[in-house]
C-alpha cells in the first residue's frame, strides 16, 4: 500500500499593508495618499510559503483571521473544504452589508479569495504547476491582456495630505506624471500616452463619475481619436440616469467598445433592469462590476440579459468563482473580464493566473498596478506589464516570491495610518468642504 505525504499547514499570518497612491477621483471621492490591503501568508510542512491578497480594512482582516482554526494542521489536500467553510461563515453577513450599500471591496468574500489564493499557491508548489493549471480547464494562455486604467486626478499637492510627488530614479516620465493633476481631455490623453509608452497598453478604460457626463464623454472621444485601434471604455460607476446614459452613449458608437456601469438602480428599478433597458436602447455592449457581483445577482442579470461583460474580479468572486463565471460567459455568449481596485503584486499574480485559466472570449483585464508599480511591491520580482500583457509562466503556484523586508515596510506604513479601510470621502473633503457621496451624482458636480 502506497502512503502519501501531503503537506500540512503549519503557520498562518495576516498582515495589513499599505502603499502609495495618487489622488485618483471617482464617484466615491478621491483616493487617499495611501491604499491598504491585507496579506495572508501560509506556511506548510514541506517548507513552502503560500500567499493571498485582499482589500484592506478590519472587517476583511478579521474574516481572514477566522480561517486560522480551519486551516492549521490540515492537509493542503483539503483546500476545497477549507475554502467553503470560510465562505459559508461570511455569506449572510455579506448580503446584509451589501444591502446596506457596502462596496464590493468591503465584503468578507474577499477574505475567502485570499485564503483560496494562498492554498492554491501551496498546492501549485507541491504539485509543481502554476495556479492556472488548478482552475477550470487548466492554463490556457501564456500571457494575459491588461488595460491602461486612466483617472481624472486631483491636485493632491494643494491639500495638507501627504501625496506622492513623483517616484525618483525610475527613468520614465510616467512616474512623475501619475502624481500630477489631470482634469482635462488633454491631460487624460497625456496620461494615456505616458502609460502606453511605459507599459505598451493596447486598451484603455477611463474612470468617470467625476465631471459632468458631457465632459467625460468628450475626454473618452479625444482618447479614442488618439488611440483609434484601442478597445476603450468609460466607467462612471452608475452616476448617470438611464436617460442621460442613453443620450450620452448614443454619441459614443464607434468610440467605446463597451459601456461600463453607465447607469444603475433608479425609480425603484434594480441596476440589472436599468442596464437591460440601456442595452436595448443603445445596442452597446455593457460591462459591470456593480450589478452582477455574486451568483444570485448573476442569475437575475442573465434572465434580464442586462450584461455582456461581467467583470469577475477574483477578489470578490474567488479565483475558482471567477473562472466559473468565464465558463458561464462562454455558454451564454458573453465576454469575460475582471474589475480591480488598487493592489499590490500578489493580487497582480492572482489576476494573471485567473486570466490565464479563463475560458472563452475575454477582454483586457482591469488593473490599477500602473499607479503603484515602481514603489509598492511585496514580492522580489513583481509580474511585469510589457506590451499590455502580463506573462504567466509555468513557475509553480502564483509564480511569485514574497519579500519579507518589503512586507514589513508596507506594514510599518499601514501602522501609521489613522484608519485601516478605504475612505475616499475623507480625501475629497479636502477639495470640497463637507463633501458627501451620492451614488447618482458625479463627484465634482456639487
Ligand atoms: O476609484 C477606483 O479605484 C475605482 O472606482 C474602483 O473603486 C472601482 O471599483 C472600479 O475599479 C470600477 O471598475 O468600478
Ligand atoms: Mg467598474
How wide is the angle at C-alpha 101 spanned by C-alphas 95 and 106, nearest 5°? 70
Domains 9-128+405-420 and 143-398 share a fold: no
**pLDDT band at residue 229 using 50, 70 and 90 as cut-offs:** very high
pLDDT at 3: 62
CATH tag for 143-398 (out of 3.30.465.10, 3.20.20.120, 3.40.50.300, 3.20.20.70) = 3.20.20.120
Provide the pairing of β-strand 148-151 with 204-207. parallel
Tens-place pLDDT, residues 33-56: 999 999 999 999 999 999 999 999
For the CA of 307, the nearest ligand: 2
Q: Is the pLDDT of residue 409 over 80?
A: yes
- Which residues make Cβ contacts (< 8 Å) with residue 188, sequence separation at least 6? 150, 152, 182, 206, 219, 222, 223
> Cell numbers 480551519 label which residue?
70
pLDDT attached to residue 181? 98
Mean pLDDT of 315-337: 98
ipTM reported for the complex, 2 dp: 0.96
Residue 1's pLDDT band (cuts 50, 70, 90): low
Domain boundaries, the chain: 9-128+405-420, 143-398
- Cite the annotated binding site for Mg(2+) by residue number: 235, 266, 289
In this structure, the residues whose C-beta lies within 6 A of any atom of ligand 1 are: 24, 26, 207, 235, 237, 289, 339-341, 366
Chain CA centroid to CA 287, Å: 14
CATH superfamily of 9-128+405-420: Enolase-like, N-terminal domain (3.30.390.10)
Residue range 249-274, pLDDT digits in tens: 999 999 999 999 999 999 999 999 99
Catalytic residue among 207, 224, 315, 343: 207
Tell which residue, 235, 240, 230, 239, has the closest CA to residue 260: 235
Q: In the chain, what is the straight-line distance between the N-terminal and C-terminal CA atoms, in Å?
A: 73
Q: How far is CA 382 from the centre of its chain?
A: 17
CA of 341 to the centre of ligand 1 (A): 6
User: Annotated binding site: which residue ranges?
Assistant: 31, 104, 149, 205, 235-237, 266, 289, 339-341, 368, 422
48, 339, 389, 430: the active-site residue: 339
| Annotation marks residue 339 as catalytic | yes
Question: Is the model's pTM score more than 0.80?
Answer: yes
Q: What is the DSSP letter of 384?
A: P
For atom 13 of ligand 1, the residue with the nearest CA is: 339
Say if residue 380's pLDDT is above 70. Answer: yes
Instruction: Indicate which residue's Cα is closest to atom 8 of ligand 1.
Output: 341
Amino acid at each position: 500500500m502506497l502512503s502519501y505525504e501531503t503537506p500540512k499547514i503549519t503557520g498562518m499570518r495576516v498582515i495589513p499593508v499599505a502603499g502609495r497612491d495618487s489622488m485618483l477621483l471617482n464617484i466615491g471621492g478621491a483616493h487617499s495618499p495611501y491604499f491598504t490591503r491585507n496579506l495572508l501568508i501560509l506556511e506548510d510542512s514541506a517548507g513552502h510559503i503560500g500567499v493571498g491578497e485582499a482589500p484592506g480594512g478590519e472587517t476583511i482582516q478579521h474574516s481572514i483571521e477566522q480561517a486560522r482554526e480551519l486551516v492549521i494542521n490540515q492537509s493542503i489536500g483539503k483546500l476545497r473544504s477549507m475554502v467553503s467553510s470560510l465562505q459559508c461563515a461570511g455569506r449572510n453577513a455579506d448580503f446584509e452589508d451589501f444591502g446596506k450599500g457596502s462596496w464590493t471591496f468591503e465584503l468578507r468574500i474577499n477574505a475567502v479569495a485570499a485564503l483560496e489564493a494562498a492554498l492554491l499557491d501551496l498546492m501549485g508548489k507541491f504539485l509543481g504547476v502554476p495556479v492556472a493549471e488548478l482552475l477550470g480547464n487548466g492554463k490556457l494562455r501564456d500571457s494575459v491582456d491588461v488595460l491602461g486604467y486612466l483617472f481624472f486626478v486631483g491636485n493632491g499637492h494643494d491639500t495638507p495630505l501627504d501625496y506622492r510627488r513623483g517616484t525618483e530614479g525610475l527613468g520614465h516620465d510616467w512616474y512623475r506624471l501619475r502624481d500630477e493633476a489631470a482634469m482635462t481631455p488633454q491631460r487624460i490623453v497625456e496620461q494615456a500616452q505616458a502609460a502606453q509608452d511605459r507599459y505598451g497598453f493596447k486598451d484603455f478604460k477611463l474612470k468617470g463619475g467625476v465631471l459632468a457626463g458631457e465632459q467625460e464623454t468628450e475626454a473618452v472621444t479625444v482618447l479614442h481619436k488618439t488611440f483609434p485601434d484601442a478597445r476603450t471604455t468609460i466607467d462612471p460607476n452608475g452616476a448617470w440616469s438611464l436617460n442621460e446614459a442613453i443620450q450620452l452613449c448614443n454619441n459614443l458608437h464607434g468610440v467605446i467598445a463597451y459601456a461600463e456601469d453607465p447607469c444603475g438602480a433608479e425609480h425603484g428599478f434594480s441596476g440589472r433592469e436599468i442596464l437591460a433597458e440601456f442595452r436595448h436602447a443603445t445596442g452597446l455592449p455593457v460591462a459591470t462590476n456593480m450589478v452582477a457581483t455574486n451568483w444570485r445577482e448573476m442569475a437575475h442579470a442573465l434572465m434580464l440579459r442586462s450584461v455582456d461583460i461581467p467583470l469577475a474580479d477574483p477578489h470578490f468572486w474567488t479565483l475558482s468563482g471567477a473562472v466559473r463565471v468565464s465558463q458561464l460567459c462562454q455558454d451564454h455568449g458573453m465576454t469575460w473580464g475582471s474589475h480591480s481596485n488598487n493592489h499590490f503584486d500578489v493580487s497582480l499574480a492572482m489576476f494573471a493566473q485567473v486570466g490565464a485559466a479563463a475560458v472563452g472570449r475575454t477582454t483586457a483585464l482591469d488593473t490599477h498596478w500602473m499607479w503603484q508599480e515602481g514603489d509598492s511591491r511585496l514580492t522580489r520580482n513583481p509580474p511585469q506589464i510589457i506590451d499590455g500583457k502580463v506573462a504567466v509562466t509555468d513557475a509553480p503556484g502564483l509564480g511569485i516570491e514574497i519579500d519579507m523586508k518589503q512586507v514589513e515596510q508596507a506594514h510599518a506604513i499601514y501602522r501609521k495610518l489613522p484608519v485601516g479601510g478605504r475612505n475616499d470621502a475623507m480625501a475629497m473633503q479636502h477639495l470640497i468642504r463637507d463633501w458627501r457621496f451620492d451614488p447618482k451624482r458625479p463627484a465634482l458636480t456639487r
